[in-house]
Each structure stands twice: as C-alpha cells, then as structure tokens.
Structure 1
Amino acid sequence: MIVILFRILIIAAVLLLTYSIIQYFRNPQRLLQHAKDSSGFYFIDEPSNSKKNIQFVYKGCQFVGEKYVGTTDNSFEIIDIHVTVVNSLELQGLSRDDIYFLEKELLIRYPHAKINWKHPINKLLLTHT
C-alpha cells in the first residue's frame, strides 16, 4: 500500500513540475523581457479589459499605453491611447519610421483609437494631434 501511495505522489510531483515549467514559458512578462533583450517586437494586451494597460516592446524599448473608452457612431470603443516610454534612454536608435510602425500596430488592434505619444516621443513626429 505504501508503494502505491509513493508512486501516486511521484506522478503528482512530475505533473506539478511539468505544469510549472509550462506556465513559466508562457508567462507574458517573461516573453516581454525576452523580446526586450533580443530587440524584437512583443505586444501584451487584454482587449476585453479596457482598464488594463497595453505593454509592448520594440527594438529593446518598452512602452506602456493607457486605453480610454469613448463612444463611436454605433458603440463604445477604445478611442484614445496615451503611449509613454518606460525608460527614455532606451529610445536611442529609434527612428520616425519605427514610431509609425508602432502606431500602425496599435491601429490594427484599435481602429477607432487616436494615438497620443507622450514626451519625448512626440518631438519626433511630424504630425501633432
């Protein structure tokens, strides 16, 4: 009887370890940090939760976007996104085209939104809203 109980505990421990490893590799914050370290692009968002901020990384620079709900012609949508950079020193090397790429990615996800870039990013843009 003790041998069977010990086997069940070993199987439970292996399952728990496997579950923990899977959760570690699927963690969005870890993926965001990995994209930042590898100078890639990664986007974290909960579209169904308007109170949760957008986080994204592009070329090693981390951004945070605050979503604001408003009305369109037919429904309530995200109509305003205020984007700030977490660390302004990370902006070094980003060009105007990179900012326009990020704006395009945001508009794909939120077509009714008006993107407001906060200082110092807004100094780089040609069109001010």
Structure 2
Amino acid sequence: MIWLLRFVLLFFIIFLFYMGVKLLFQSSRKLESARKHKRFLLIDHEDVRKNFLLTYKGAVFTGEKYMGAKDNTFDVVSISIWPENTATLKGMVKEDFFYMDKKILEHYPNADINWKSPVKEFLQQ
C-alpha cells in the first residue's frame, strides 16, 4: 500500500513539473514579454489556416494568411494584417511598418501584404 502511495506522489510531482515547464514556454507569455520590452516577435503556426501574431514597439498585430497557387506551387499568396489596439500605434513611423513587411516576407516570400485600417491610410500618405 505504501508503494502505491509513493508511486502516486511521484507521478503527481512529475506532472506538476511538466505543467510548470509547459507554462513557462507558452507562446502567449513570449508575446507578452516581447510586447512589454518593445521587441519584434513573430509567432506563427505551421498551419496556414491559423493566424499569426506579431509584436513590434509595444503594438500587437494579427495577420491572416491566404493560400493560393503561385509559380506552379501552393503557397501563402496574401496576408492581411491589422492592429489589435489602434492606440498602441502612437509614435510609429512608416519605416516601422516597412521593417515588419520585410520580416514577414522573410517567412513568406511569395505573399502580398495588405494592411488594414488605419495603417493602410497612414502608408498611403
């Protein structure tokens, strides 16, 4: 009986350790840390149907990917990006958006990037 109790206790300790490590390396924690420190971070899933998240200079953006045929292959051909909160765009300049475009094109070289309002109007000025 004592062996069973020890086994259950050991299993519980291993489970708690696993959950703690899993929580530390969660992508939402990385995104929040990068947002707080105003760094660039792109969190993308291999699944094309899932959106990606991007943070730069404290602003968080969501990007939606669209598949299509280009150059005889199926690839991501269009990306729509919009800010999660437009108030966080304060102080950003056009070069910041061009930098984000460049970083996204490193991951998806065949994609056309379309910014949604209010960034679209800002870039057309």
Instruction: Name the structure 2 match of 1:108.
Output: 106
CA distance in 2: counterparts of 1:6 and 1:73, whole angstroms? 62
* TM-score where L is the length of structure 2: 0.92
CA offset at residue 12 of structure 1?
A: 0.6
- Which residue of structure 2 lines up, in the alignment, with residue 60 of structure 1? 58
Match of 2:78 in 1: 80
> SS of the counterpart of 1:4?
helix
Superposition CA RMSD, Å: 1.4
Specify the code of the residue in structure 2 equivalent to 1:65. Answer: G
Query: Runs ≥4 in structure 1, deviation > 3 angstroms?
Result: none
With 79-88 and 49-58 compared, the bigger mean Cα shift is at 49-58
Q: 3-state SS of the aligned residue for 1:111?
A: coil
Output the CA distance in 1 between the equivalents of 2:34 and 2:94: 21
Aligned-pair identity (%): 32
Q: TM-score, normalised by structure 1?
A: 0.90
Aligned partners of 2:112, 2:8: CA distance in 1, in Å? 55
Cα deviation code 1:23-53 (max 9, x no counterpart):
1011111211121122122211113x11111
Question: d(CA) in 2 for partners of 1:35 and 1:21?
Answer: 20
Q: Which moved more, 1:26-35 or 1:13-22?
A: 26-35
Residues in 2 aligned to 1:122 and 1:37: alpha-carbon distance in whole angstroms = 25
Once residues 37 and 14 of structure 1 are traced to their aligned partners in structure 2, the CA distance between those partners, rounded to angstroms, is: 32
> How far did 1:125 drift?
2.1
Equivalent AA in structure 1 for residue 26 of structure 2: N
Q: 2:36 is matched with which residue?
A: 37
Question: Structure 1 unaligned runs (5+)?
Answer: none
- Local SS of the residue matching 1:125: helix
Count of residues paired in the alignment: 125
